[in-house]
Structure 1
């Protein structure tokens, strides 16, 4: 392990965000496989390996996050129903090996939430607190989707003081234009983009 403790944050690699899901991202399954390969080779490099999941309520719109029944989602602020607590869509993608994950984070319970830093761990702690308690100063971010939850997670990690790397080959975005804009926003905030190997 490096002298500076590092964390890996795996963002929302869930069934509803990979091919076949209600909010499928092209390349999601392949990204899940590559993250698993990265973990197999590099888990010991990290003091903390955190994985986040959307964990929305089945009832209601989750604070306007789900489109109102009978209305089409705008795919900006409102979305189709996805990642409902306990439903198959909320499960980690089968291609993601979570055996090395040390911290599980859930977010979006009844309200919109994009960043893993908006969620809570199994013991109801904030991710930033968990990382600080482990002495983490550097955070690697991977997952789905580049232009939404990955972007929000990386920006929040910077905002609370961590050095952040986005691993370039370990994320997938919804659309090219919005993904490019997300990469620009992350770079402007000081996020470094590097290949995972």
Structure 2
């Protein structure tokens, strides 16, 4: 994805500068096992995609810049569905490919539960792709009552058009959009 490496580096730098300002930092990542029609040999790049984020593969691993941050909590999503929102994932700090039964057993380890257990009331969301995963995670966070901000300069969309559509949807939902990759909180 164009800009993905640059965004990963910018996120890394932002977290290094601002880590002490956050009570909790969590990653989310596609960890697809059998995501159904989400993978397609003829993708439309809106709802269907080439094989990506395949659990256990190098493609599903966190970007090296993010992995270097040594974050303790990792939400893996989309094992058996598209799952764009981080709130559809389960906490799984292993690199192993779980069975369906193991995924089901993790069902209570949700992002919402993790945030609430840590007393989090405000969330900042960054990443790839603004037009899909960042957007859906932010919309879910807002719907669940978290004060939600998206750092637009720490996110990148699949396309400029889908990015603008996502920004409109986020604004309409009351999500705060900010730029501040170079800032210190």
TM norm structure 1:
0.81
Task: Name the structure 2 match of 1:37.
Answer: 13
- Unaligned 5+ runs, structure 2: 94-105
Moved over 4 A (4+): none
Q: In the alignment, is residue 52 of structure 1 matched against residue 25 of structure 2?
A: no
8 Å Cα contact 1:43/1:100 also seen in 2: no
In structure 2, C-alpha distance between the alignment counterparts of 1:145 and 1:89, rounded to whole Å:
15
How large is the RMSD of aligned CA atoms in angstroms? 1.3
The 1-side partners of 2:139 and 2:68 are apart by 24
Instruction: State the structure with bigger RCO (CA 8 A, min sep 6), 1 or 2.
Output: 1
Separation in 1, partners of 2:169, 2:48: 22
Q: Any unmatched runs of 5+ in structure 1?
A: 1-24
Match of 2:69 among 63, 81, 99: 99
| Residues in 2 aligned to 1:76 and 1:122: alpha-carbon distance in whole angstroms | 27
CA drift of 1:83 comes to 0.9
1:82 aligns with 2:55: no
By how many angstroms is 1:100 displaced?
A: 4.3
Normalising by structure 2, we get a TM-score of 0.86
Instruction: Determine the C-alpha separation between the residues in 1 that align with 2:45 and 2:179.
Output: 29
